Structure 1
Amino acid sequence: MSSTPQELVTRDISAWIDFIRKAEIPVLKHTAREIARLKEDEDNLSARAISSAVLNDPMMVFKVLTFSQKHKGKKQLQDLVQADQAILMMGTSSFFLNLQPKVLVEDILKSNLPALMHLLRLVRRAHQAAHFAADWATHLADLHAEEVRTAALLHDLAEMLMWCFAPDKMNAIYAMQNADKTLRSVAVQQDVLGFRLQDLQKELVEIFQLPPLLSKLMQDNASSEQRVRNVILAVNLARHSANGWDDAALPDDYSDIAALLRMDIDRVMRIVGVPRIQ
């Protein structure tokens, strides 16, 4: 890798894409520790056990899926959209040989604790979005709810990576928005980074050749389709509820979810866990 995150000060999105393409994607310390523990008993290990460790970390899920896409077998007729399927297909030996965690999020951000805290909150939010999306997909009788879960989990991957690789800029974006709630995210991102995170996300999905189905589910511009709409609304609800259940955007979220699930708003609020006011 020719440059470190600290050296990359460009506002050119293509330079950032090239950097991330060559970079070792960091994973959470807990993920690396759990995978190392599992490797000690590799001979008696199942793919399911590895999957449990991988699925807790969106960045590790991303590593697994992109590796799987890059090393598809000749007999593999379908793209693998779920990390557990990819691990099962590649086998435990290949997983440990090729996907051992090398760079830890906590090491990269050890001198920038605010950025680390923001990233960990974003990861928790991604898991919440994934939970919402899978739950609603089941309600809608979607036979492939886990695909929707994966799309929601990785929806904000570009933001996660920028917290790792450009923490000072991401802290600046957060500070500006926290000081002025009326600022639009895309405008602040354009001002500070020189590009929008959603544009970086789209480019990363293409450059890393994520499965077409997964990339489609992650594209907000296809929001008229039910499964894509599911992902978008799950991400929105997770984002807004993370600010507290009194966030001003939540009533609109409940209304949109009610339309998706074809149920009344009161029931939506119950199933998503809105606390009852005493």
Structure 2
Amino acid sequence: MLSEHQRHWGVDQWAAYLSNHELPCMPRSKAQLLERESELGEQLSARDLADIAGADPFLCLRLLRAAESRRTQRLGHETTTPLGAVMQLGTDTFHKLLRDCPATNEDNAGLAACEARSYLASRLALRWGTARADLQPDEIAMAALLSEIGELLLWSFAPELPLAALEALHSGRAQRSIQAQMDVCGFRFKDLTLKCASIWNLPGLLPQLIRGIDNTRANLSRLCIDTARHLASGGHDDPALPSDIAEARHLIPGASLNWLAEQLPGIDEEGAALLALKAAELIEPTEP
């Protein structure tokens, strides 16, 4: 229950409050580690451990913060991928970190939906990012995975705020998610993510990619986040998806519209072709 004082907090106060909480992990991460190592009879490789972390925004962030703390002491390179974090810490430290990590509540529907969007955005970043040789898809995917961490923290420790924003959106008092967040909370959840990233001293590349406006990689990260939100809210019939595919073509000119559409999870060949056709009409409008 929020106190009357907390109801008047701005983004700085919420960032300070939430960033001091111990980060949890998704229960499936612990279960997956135990199950896979039990079947294998030995510890998983660093790559396999990174795959587990790369599917859990809470665990990924916890791992990154620990790796960055160790890096700062040793003055090494910034850690910007799950694999880099595992290599920085070592597999034994990863096991201890995950073992000691509290599990979040998967029955929290709002948290589950937000976390699913984050994972979807990161998978899409890996798929689309492979089409540009000058990009490092793992970095874009990590930024996409962590992009919703401000909202995830709210769902975990102050669910009244995102619930109220959702109610404002569904009731029609706000037309878009960002407007609902501003009306109810006075700040965007993305700004909360960026404030927390600053408090945690995360590598400078990640906030740049999450902000999504400075260069091709940042724009692609933002686009993956937006596309994941459109898929989550309207499925493959969401009217914003053709525009997303058209923008992806602008950022990845070497990829065809059909290929870009086919990378959307769960879409069949016919659906991808229809999306590509609509995107093409946006790029080159048909003559009246």
Contact 1:61 1:83 in 2 (8 A): yes
Contact 1:63 1:99 in 2 (8 A): no
* TM-score under structure 2 length normalisation: 0.80
Q: C-alpha separation between the residues in 2 aligned to 1:193 and 1:255?
A: 33
SS at match of 1:178: helix
Structure 2 equivalent of residue 141 of structure 1: 133
| Per-residue deviation, 1:12 | 2.6
Deviation string for 1:124-144 (max 9, x for gaps)? Answer: 222221122122221011352
Which of the numbers 248, 257, 261 marks the counterpart of 2:248?
257
174 and 182 in structure 1: CA distance in 2 versus 1, 3 angstrom threshold: closer
Structure 1 equivalent of residue 103 of structure 2: 104
SS at match of 2:175: coil
Which of the numbers 25, 37, 54 marks the counterpart of 2:23?
25
Contact 1:162 1:170 in 2 (8 A): yes
| Per-residue deviation, 1:15 | 2.1
Structure 2 equivalent of residue 228 of structure 1: 218
Q: What number of residue pairs does the alignment pair up?
A: 265
State, as a whole percentage, how many aligned pairs show the same letter.
Answer: 25
Contact 1:29 1:104 in 2 (8 A): yes
1:207 and 2:221 equivalent? no
Q: Which amino acid aligns with 1:190?
A: M
SS at match of 1:186: helix
Q: Which amino acid aligns with 2:94?
A: F
* TM-score under structure 1 length normalisation: 0.83
Structure 2 equivalent of residue 72 of structure 1: 71
53 and 268 in structure 1: CA distance in 2 versus 1, 3 angstrom threshold: closer
| Per-residue deviation, 1:179 | 2.4
Uncovered stretches (5+) of structure 2, i.e. residues with no partner: 275-288
197 and 73 in structure 1: CA distance in 2 versus 1, 3 angstrom threshold: closer
- Once the two structures are superposed, the pairs formed by residues 31-70 of structure 1 within 5 Å of their partners are 31-35=29-33, 44-70=43-69
Q: C-alpha separation between the residues in 2 aligned to 1:258 and 1:52?
A: 28
| Per-residue deviation, 1:182 | 5.6
Uncovered stretches (5+) of structure 1, i.e. residues with no partner: none
Q: C-alpha separation between the residues in 1 aligned to 2:259 and 2:34?
A: 43
Q: Which amino acid aligns with 1:11?
A: W
- Greater Cα shift, 57-66 or 157-166: 157-166
Q: Which amino acid aligns with 2:18?
A: I
Q: C-alpha separation between the residues in 1 aligned to 2:118 and 2:175?
A: 23
| Per-residue deviation, 1:101 | 4.1
